[in-house]
Structure 1
Amino acid sequence: MSVNEGLRAMAGFFVLLSVALGTWVHPAWYLFTAFVGVNLLQSAFTRWCPAMAILRRIGLREESDAGKAAE
């Protein structure tokens, strides 16, 4: 799994989790959904996201490195 795939998986998980928490616990959790969306939008323009540093630290590779490993 590459960093970009991991980032998408993490964002999807947090969106689903925050929607569930907003529905069943408290509507204020929808603010976390908005935070994830804003962070994704920001990363589309800056090509930087704090979660990417975490994913690299746990061992996920960059897109070009992941393609080489699959060959």
Structure 2
Amino acid sequence: MNEHVNPVMLEALRGHWPLIEPGTPPAEAQRVAADLDYQQHRESGRAHRALQDQVQHNARMGVWS
């Protein structure tokens, strides 16, 4: 689940992810799982855009990685 989340963000969120308790109604468990998926997708998109911005900035400065 966490392969696309920034490691710094993972550390900050450690212990803060909502837990789906046993006995939670299926609809609520599904909603929480969907929320977590959305948050993960949004964070991975931000990380990707930040990387693209850094590469473009480095290219303008004449730095190639």
Higher gyration radius (CA) = 2
TM over 0.5: no
Using structure 2 for the length normalisation, give the TM-score.
0.43
Larger relative helix fraction: 1
Using structure 1 for the length normalisation, give the TM-score.
0.40
